Structure 1
Amino acid sequence: MLRCRNIPNQGVSSIVKKATRISRFLAAVEDRPIYVGLDVHKKTYSVALFDPEDGIVETYTCPSGQEALADQPSGLGCQIAHVVYESGPTGFALSRALERAGFAVSVIAASRIPRGYAAAAKTDRIDAVKLANYFARGLLRPIAIPTVE
């Protein structure tokens, strides 16, 4: 169902556990639209799947790569309402690849993401969840994605 290509040094049991968690999430959300938040880095992407109706969240990490990531949401077999990620060194190539794959994508300026006054922890997984959650609630404004020229 869901495959992260070229997963380095992960045992079969780890992959099975991840697939089971995601299967449970997909069964819980049924046909409701979900939001996907991405925290992107050079080597890995942290992915958060968020159901705004029930507040259910599932996360996983996969190797970076625009084409590999663009294949994943369509392989989930659920309705993706929107994919959102923070602007940064990844640039806009990822958003273009996801748009070519048929997804609605928004890129958010890092300076425009609400931060708590006393953020206890900051991890890639938490950042991905916040992006999906905040976007689903209408708290984020996307930046314009420039054309290729």
Structure 2
Amino acid sequence: MFSERTSVGLDVHARTTMAWALDCETGRIFSQRLDAETHNVMTWVAGLPQPAAVAYEAGPTGFFLARTLDEHGIRCVVAAPSKMERPRGDRIKTDKRDAQRLSKLLRMDELPTVRVATPAEEAARDLVRGRDDMRRDLARARNRISKLRLRQGRVWRGGTGWTCIHHE
């Protein structure tokens, strides 16, 4: 169990972040929708009773926020959303409820976490994902062109398609 006074859950999106925090000494709850800029989130968390710990779900926003919080001495846990169980009957899903749930699970030390990637690892992942996306896009474009030519009765019979000879 950790000794932070305040447990913070963040539901992070591209443009906004829903923040929900519980001061475990006084029971006071803090909640606010923030602009998703890292500076704004940092300022809000820094204004809470300290020490504080923060949790948010891994997603397309990456790990920049987690690294920034850690650099400022605020423990940050990034949760694996695919490994988090949802309570039975919990059909209403809102940003505020998600942030509240993350805060409570953090306090109980019940969050399945992921390792925060270094900037170099994150850049490599982005490169690999981008290359894979481009490869798939190229295959889809070639398939569309081949099917268009087939519908027009123009079939390539000179060997393997999409080679230098085929392009000529």
SS at structure 2 position matched to 1:129: helix
Partner of residue 103 from structure 2, selected from 108, 132, 135 = 132
Q: Which is richer in helix?
A: 2
TM normalised by structure 2 equals 0.64
Unpaired runs of at least 5, structure 1: 1-31
Structure 2 CA distance, aligned partners of 1:86 and 1:55? Answer: 24
Cα gap change, 1:113 to 1:80, in 2 (>3 Å): farther
* Pairing partner for 1:146 from 99, 111, 117: 117
Q: Work out which of the residue numbers 16, 37, 49 in structure 1 matches 2:21.
A: 49
What percent identity do the matched residue pairs reach? 32
Gaps of at least 5 residues in structure 2 are 121-168
Q: Secondary structure at 1:70's aligned position in 2? A: helix
**Structure 1 residue ranges (4+ consecutive) displaced by more than 6 angstroms after TM superposition:** none
Q: Hey, what does 1:94 align to over in structure 2?
A: 65
SS in structure 1 at match of 2:47: helix
* 8 Å Cα contact 1:46/1:60 also seen in 2: yes
Distance 2:84 2:13 in 1: 17
Distance 1:138 1:55 in 2: 18
The residue aligned with 2:54 is 83
Q: Encode CA deviations 1:94-139: one digit per residue, 9 max, x unaligned.
A: 1111112221101001012220121131100000000000111121
Partner SS for 2:39:
helix
Corresponding pairs, count? 117
Larger RCO (CA under 8 A, 6+ residues apart): 1
User: What whole-Å deviation, never above 9, does each CA across 1:2-37 have from its counterpart, x for those lacking one?
Assistant: xxxxxxxxxxxxxxxxxxxxxxxxxxxxxx701010
* 3-state DSSP of counterpart to 1:37: strand
